[in-house]
Structures are given as structure tokens and as C-alpha cells.
């Protein structure tokens, strides 16, 4: 356990010295702008729910999946250059601790992004001047569901980033698999099983006009998410522990 916290501190220091964490601000800021400009009076639904759906479309459809691949690639970049893996693994730390520490840092960054997104929701609602009570349960379910749905992607992309020495290759793969979300979320058969589409499916508030995979109950989606997370996490960890450095 001690080695885990040492590696975790090292990974956190890497991230704090770079400016890549500023990307956490991009999606909440853009989403706040979208929320502030969203027309909510056309629907009989709760205006908070209508606005949340508009904000989630950008945030969870593109930004969350991309960041779930960008941060693991960035954290592994240091070890892939200049014999970093050999320098790291000669220290009294286990490979399991290294894997868990990198995963924890990325999961923590995405949790911070979700909290910033919450601030954006409240700010946009204040700008809109909503008088209806804030649906805290629906917002909390959306934020938590989106974060949990990113974890399989983080595990998958971490495994890829640990295996590929290139920083650009895992990132390009992730972006190329994120773009089809526009079409895949409309499929009730494919969408729930596509890791890059799961964050937006989990975050989209339940409304009568939802279609495609958005009609899937959150509980059913979470079963798929947890199953894929356990699979990707285990495969990635086992591969890293057996990988020759």
C-alpha cells in the first residue's frame, strides 16, 4: 500500500507541473455557454432537465470520452521516453501499484471535471433565471452515472497507452472511436455496449422524447458498464504485469 501512495504522489506531481489539466475547464465552460443559451420555454418539462440535456450533448458525447483517453496517454508518455519504465520499475514499487496509481489519477481528474460541470449547470441556471427548484437527484444521478461510465474507457485506454510507446497513437485511436458516437447513440442495440457512447447515455436526463439507446434504463446500462470495466481493468492489469520492459 505504501508503494501505491508513493507512485500516486509522483503521478499527481507530473500532472500538476503540466498544463494539460486546464483541459478540465474547457468542457464545463463551453457547456455553461450552451446551457445559458438553451431555449427551455418550448417544453412542458422541467427547464433544468431541458438545459441539462443540451449541456450533456457536448460534454458527455465528445469531451468526456476524449479526456478518458488523453489523460492516460499523457501519464504514460513520461515512462515511454528516455527509458522511464526501467527507471521506475527498479524502484521498490510493484507494477500493480503503478497501474492503480495511474488509473486513480485519471479517475480523479474526471471526477473534478464532473464537479466543474455541476458548477456550470448551476451558473447557467442562474443566468437563465430559473424559478423552479433544482432537481438535485436527477443532476446527481447524471453526474455520477457519467463518471462511472468513463471508468471502462479509462481502463481500456490506460491498457493501450501502457502498451504503445507513441503518445499520439492511443489518442488518435480514442478520438476516431469517439466521433461515431453521433450515430451510435441512436442505436438501441449497439449504443449501450459501445464504451465511448456510455457516458452520454448515462448522463442524459430521462425525458419522454428520448429515442434510440437513450430509452435504456440507467440500471441496465450500469450493469453493462460495470461488466466492461471489470473486463478492461483486469485485462489491462494482467497484461502490464506480464509485459517485458
Alpha carbon distance 126, 159 (integer Å): 41
Residue 48 in contact with residue 136, Cβ under 8 Å? no
Alpha carbon distance 242, 200 (integer Å): 34
pTM over 0.85: yes
DSSP SS3 for 155: helix
Sort 221 into a burial class: Cβ within 10 Å, 0-12 / 13-18 / 19+: buried
Q: 84-126 pLDDT, tens per residue?
A: 777 777 777 888 888 999 999 999 999 999 999 999 999 999 9
Q: Where are the domains of the chain?
A: 2-242
The confidence band for 208, taking pLDDT boundaries of 50, 70 and 90, is very low
**Between these two residues, 82 and 31, which has the higher pLDDT value?**
31
Amino acid at each position: 500500500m505504501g508503494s501505491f501512495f508513493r507512485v500516486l504522489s509522483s503521478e499527481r506531481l507530473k500532472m500538476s507541473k503540466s498544463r494539460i489539466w486546464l483541459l478540465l475547464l474547457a468542457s464545463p465552460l463551453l457547456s455553461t455557454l450552451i446551457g445559458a443559451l438553451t431555449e427551455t420555454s418550448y417544453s412542458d418539462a422541467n427547464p433544468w432537465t431541458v438545459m441539462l440535456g443540451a449541456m450533456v450533448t457536448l460534454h458527455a458525447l465528445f469531451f468526456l470520452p476524449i479526456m478518458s483517453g488523453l489523460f492516460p496517454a499523457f501519464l504514460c508518455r513520461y515512462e515511454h521516453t528516455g527509458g522511464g519504465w526501467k527507471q521506475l520499475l527498479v524502484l521498490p514499487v510493484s507494477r500493480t501499484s503503478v497501474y492503480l496509481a495511474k488509473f486513480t489519477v485519471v479517475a480523479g481528474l474526471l471526477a473534478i471535471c464532473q464537479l466543474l460541470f455541476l458548477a456550470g449547470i448551476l451558473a447557467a441556471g442562474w443566468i437563465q433565471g430559473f424559478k423552479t427548484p433544482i432537481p438535485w437527484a436527477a443532476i446527481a444521478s447524471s453526474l455520477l452515472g457519467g463518471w462511472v461510465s468513463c471508468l471502462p474507457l479509462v481502463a481500456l485506454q490506460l491498457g493501450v497507452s501502457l502498451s504503445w510507446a507513441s503518445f499520439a497513437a492511443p489518442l488518435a485511436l480514442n478520438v476516431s472511436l469517439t466521433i461515431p458516437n453521433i450515430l451510435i447513440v441512436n442505436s438501441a442495440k449497439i449504443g449501450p455496449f459501445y464504451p465511448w457512447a456510455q457516458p452520454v447515455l448515462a448522463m442524459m436526463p430521462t425525458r419522454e422524447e428520448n429515442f434510440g439507446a437513450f430509452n435504456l434504463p440507467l440500471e441496465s446500462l450500469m450493469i453493462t458498464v460495470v461488466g466492461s470495466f471489470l473486463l478492461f481493468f483486469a485485462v489491462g492489469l494482467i497484461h502490464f504485469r506480464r509485459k517485458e520492459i
